[in-house]
Homo-oligomer: A and B are copies of this chain.
Amino acid sequence: MSILSPTQRTTVTRETKRAVAGRSRMLALLGDALVAHLGVVVVRDGVTHPVVLPIAFAVDPDGPDADGTLYLHGSTGSGWLRSALDTDVCVTVTELDGLVAARSGFSHSMNYRSAVVIGRARVVDDPAERAHALDLIVDHMIPGRAATLRPPTRKELAATAVLALPLREASMKERAGGPEDEPEDVASGVWAGHIPLQRVALPPVSAPDSHDEAPVDVVARAEALG
């Protein structure tokens, strides 16, 4: 298991006490989180600007790329796709764990876990790897679901782009616990603490045209989520 932050651009330089060096912690976060934010650089009419979009993802720690593979998918007609090819992208995954109320505005903070992965995305062309990646993305939402579904049609596959981002250039930061106030602020007697936040799931809602009860894998997923 290699250590994170192997290059300068993924080395945490601010609040380094919050940097997490262990790859297993990052993989745990990427397993928990359901949405990533994909950043691409867009050049339009000579003006360069970033675009950040929420996107589904999945990770294969034993994927073909060094240190594992993060898979993304999207429509081949997506505007962001063009900007994601032949250049570097950034995928950031954040879970918010709490609000930290300190004695000063300056020390107010949030508890979170966040991973940042930067690199060149590879278009996945190999049919077996594409099928594997698409199954992983479905199973990341609901473990075991992909095996219960029909295989994708040729038309669906033709409309879907799959990208693979190596988990090599990555960093993670994490904050947990209560506020960190200056001694004179603690002495002021103002209350301080934190509000823990969690993501929870409600029971599955069957589609109106679905005639069965939710299957065990879906019920189990909702229960596991909270």
Contact = CB atoms under 8 A, between A and B. Distances in A.
A60 interface: no
A49 B186 contact: no
A99 B202 contact: no
B90 A51 contact: yes
Nearest to A184: B150
A27 interface: no
A203 B196 CA distance: 7
Question: Could you tell me the dominant secondary structure of chain A's interface residues?
Answer: mixed
Interface string A130-169: 0000110110011001101110110010011000000000
B201 A218 contact: no
Identical copies in the complex: 2
Interface string A185-221: 1101111111111111111111111111111001001
Contacts of A191: 206, 210, 212-215, 218
A14 B77 contact: yes
Contact of A211 (B48, B189, B200): B189
A103 B101 CA distance: 44
A137 to B, nearest CB: 8
Contact of A138 (B105, B156, B186, B218): B105
A17 interface: no
A124 interface: no
Nearest to A38: B52
- Which of A42, A189, A190, A192 has the most CB atoms of chain B within a 10 A radius of its CB? A192
A122 interface: no
B49 A90 contact: yes
A70 interface: no
Contact of A51 (B116, B153, B209): B116
Contacts of A211: 189
12 contacts: A13-B79, A14-B79, A37-B37, A41-B50, A50-B52, A50-B88, A101-B142, A106-B152, A149-B190, A179-B207, A195-B204, A197-B200
